[in-house]
Amino acid sequence: MNSKPRILAIDDTPTNLYTLGMALAGEFDLQIASSGPEGLVMARESPPDLILLDVMMPGMDGFETCRRFKAEPALATTPILFVTALSDLESELSGLSLGVADYIIKPFKVELVKLRIRNILSISRLSQELKASEECLRYVMEATGEGVWDWRMSDSAVHHNASWCRILGLDMSFLTHPVDTFMDLIHPDDRAGVQRVLGACLAGDGVYASEHRLRHSCGHYVWVADRGRVVERTATGEPARMVGSIANITERKRHEAEIHHLAYFDVLTELPNRRLLIERLQQAQLRNQRNKQFGALMFLDMDRFKQLNDTHGHAKGDELLIEVASRLRGCVREQDTVARLGGDEFVVMLENLAGPVDDAIGNARKVGTKILETLNRPYRLGDLPYASTPSIGLTLFSGKDDSIDGILKRADVAMYAAKSAGRNTLREADPGR
């Protein structure tokens, strides 16, 4: 198979063609034509890699022949070198305005001709490879649905592909827009984080990576994974151009939220479960130590809950637990935690109780008393009127020398003390511990 680059030489002077043939035959596959129309026919049948075109020819001159080549879709990007004895500026400008790659001045300097041909072929090959690579990347991006962005700092404009617009439900008028438009689309809660990560990337050489929400044209927000990096900088190191892409990760975020909810929340009551309670208790200890405050933990057990299940069925028991959870939420502040450990066992954790110890336990006792009164109110479980009461154990905790197990055990012991005292009451563990 012939791997030599194919060159089409068009010249009406046989001597010139002979000279070219002798000079180029060893390195290139040379085809010759004696006129512009003949060259066009040959090029259509077998597109060359490069065209050497004489400027001064009878009938159709080199300028018109060049225009004809550029009008052919299959030949429009084929590099053309003008071969001419003319060296005036006007002729060169005319040729360059038509898109010719270079000029070769007669008489030929063979080695210079070869060097220019090699250079032009190399540039052409690299250009074709780049175009193929860009087309491949564009195809992949479109196939995966990723939105591409290209931020030119010189004019503060961001350019996009169609997928970027589709992700956000925008029309094609948003293929180019000011960078401030992007910032305005970011969810207010995410904006500071995006600006921080983006600023770090612009200041250094790292990769920009952020997961945040962008406002869809319909008004809701779409979660995206946004990635990019600076690809051009000025002579002084300032960022000049940044490119990247976004992918819609809304479904992934929804699945993550579902998994998180199953891992940290009780399915029946939607309250935090034991795992989340332990994490919040650990965090509360750290805050207590930092702020020199106290927290309180209450264990609650619904009296004779098993009797309700045995007499009226588990569905009624579930209805009672759901109502208890709702009432407990209404007894505490937003910063406090109500959790369900399982069965009919609930935990209330109060935070930010100011000292001294007597004041902190006094405030916790007030909340405990409020819970007793609230859970003593009559219940209606479907068509069943029902009365139920809690037994509550209360303990205070700080942030020093107090283990999680120790806190939970004290509250549990106090709760069983309340049951032993006749139920429907509150008992406290030693507040000095």
Whether the upstream peptide bond of residue 272 has omega within 30° of 0, thus cis, is no
Domains of the chain: 6-138 (3.40.50.2300), 145-253 (3.30.450.20), 265-428 (3.30.70.270)
Predicted pLDDT at 375 = 97
Separation CA 92–CA 109 (nearest Å) = 19
Helical residues (DSSP H) of 313-356, grouped into ranges: 314-329
Q: What number of other Cβ atoms are within 10 A of residue 254's Cβ?
A: 11
Predicted pLDDT at 142 = 57
CA Rg value for the chain: 40
Q: Which amino acid does the sequence have at 228?
A: G
Q: Exposed, middle or buried: residue 233 (CB in 10 Å: 0-12, 13-18, 19+)?
A: middle
User: Which residues, in sequence order, are bridge partners of residue 350?
Assistant: 296
Phi, psi of 271 (to 5 degrees): -85, 160
Q: Which two tokens stand for residue 312?
A: 């009226």
Q: Which amino acid does the sequence have at 92?
A: E
Predicted TM-score (pTM) of the model is 0.58
Task: For residue range 207-257, list pLDDT tens digits in order.
Answer: 899 999 999 999 999 999 999 999 888 988 899 999 888 999 999 999 999
Predicted pLDDT at 432 = 45
Give every residue of the chain whose pLDDT is below 50, as ranges.
Answer: 1, 431-433
The residue count of the chain comes to 433
Predicted pLDDT at 430 = 64
Place of tokens 């929340």: 265
CA 173, 177, 183 angle in degrees (round to 5)? 125
Predicted pLDDT at 15 = 75
Using left for φ > 0, alpha for ψ between -120 and 50, and beta otherwise, residue 423 falls in: left
Q: What number of other Cβ atoms are within 10 A of residue 193's Cβ?
A: 14
Separation CA 305–CA 23 (nearest Å) = 103
Q: Which amino acid does the sequence have at 245?
A: S
Q: Which amino acid does the sequence have at 342?
A: G
Q: What number of other Cβ atoms are within 10 A of residue 311's Cβ?
A: 11
